[in-house]
Amino acid sequence: MSYIEKKYFQKITEIFDELIESDTKLLELIRYKSFSKVNEIAQVLAALNKKINLILKKYYPEIKALNEKLEIKSTMKFYYDLLHNLTDFVRNVENFKNIDDRYYESLIDFIEKKDYLIKNKYKEIVSRELTSFYDKKSRDNLERILASKLQLKERNYFTFGGLEEEIKKIGILNGASKITFQKIDEELKLKSDIKDANTVIIYEINDNDYSIKLEKITQTIKKYLESKDYEAIIKSNSIITNAKLHEFEDTSQY
C-alpha cells in the first residue's frame, strides 16, 4: 500500500470512529419517539452526510487494495441506508399525526445491529459488486488487448515476435522485397557515428517507386529501433545500429 493510501485509509478509519458518536446520538433521539426531536435528528444526519461525502469524494478513490475497499464500502453502505431511512422520516414526519412505535423500534434495531449488518449483509453485497466491477474491468482490458492484437495482425505490423522479426515485417510492410542483417565490419564501424555499432540492416526493393519506398523503409525502421532505445543511422540503402541482430529462419507469411 502506498503512503497516500495508508494516510487516507487512516483518515477514513478516524471518520468511522467519529460516526460512532452519531450512532449513539441518533439512538438517543429516536428513543424519545417524539416529533419534537426531528430537527435534532436532521442536524445529526447533515453532519453524518458531510463526513460520508468527504470519504466518498476525497479519500475512497485513492484506495486500491480490495480488502480495504471491501471494508470501507461495506460500512458506507450501512450509512447510506441509515441516511435514506432517517431522511425519509424527517421529510415525511409532518404528514403524520402519529407514528407507530414499531417504526421507531425498527430504526433503533437497525442502528443497534450495525456491526452485524456490515459483517453479514453489506460485506456480501459489496463483495459481489467489487468482483463484478473488477471482472468487467478485466474483461474490458482483455477485449482491448485482443482487439489490438487483431488489428496488428491485420496490419501485419508490430506483432509480438523477436526484434529481427519485427524489423523484417516493418520493412516488408513498407515496400521492401527482402531484409537482411549483417555483422558490421571494422572499417564501416570506424566510419559510423555509433561507437558500439553491431549490425547493418540491408533492404532490397523491387519497384519503380524505389526512392519513395527507400525513404519510408529507412525512416520507419530507424524510428522503431530508437523507440527500443537503440541507436540507428541511415547509410545509403542500409541502417547501421548498435542492436545485435542475427539472421533467422523466416517461416512467417508477410
Q: How far apart are CA 185 and CA 190, in angstroms?
A: 9
pLDDT of residue 202: 92
Give the number of C-alpha atoms closer than 13 A to the C-alpha of residue 195, restricted to the C-beta side.
Answer: 0
pLDDT of residue 235: 85
pLDDT of residue 173: 83
Among 165, 176, 234, which residue's Cα sits nearest to residue 203? 176
In tens digits, what is the pLDDT along the chain, a chain of 254 residues? 788 899 999 999 999 999 999 999 999 999 999 888 999 999 999 999 999 999 999 999 999 888 999 999 999 999 999 999 898 888 877 667 678 888 899 999 999 999 999 999 999 999 888 877 766 665 566 556 555 555 544 444 444 457 888 898 888 888 888 899 999 888 888 777 888 899 999 988 887 677 888 888 999 999 889 888 899 999 877 999 999 887 644 433 33
pLDDT of residue 189: 81
Sheet of 232-235, strand order? 178-183, 199-204, 238-241, 232-235
Alpha-helical regions (H) of 93-122: 101-112, 114-117
pTM of the model: 0.53
Strand, helix or coil at 202? strand
How confident is the model over 55-92, as pLDDT tens digits? 999 999 999 888 999 999 999 999 999 999 898 888 87
pLDDT of residue 11: 96
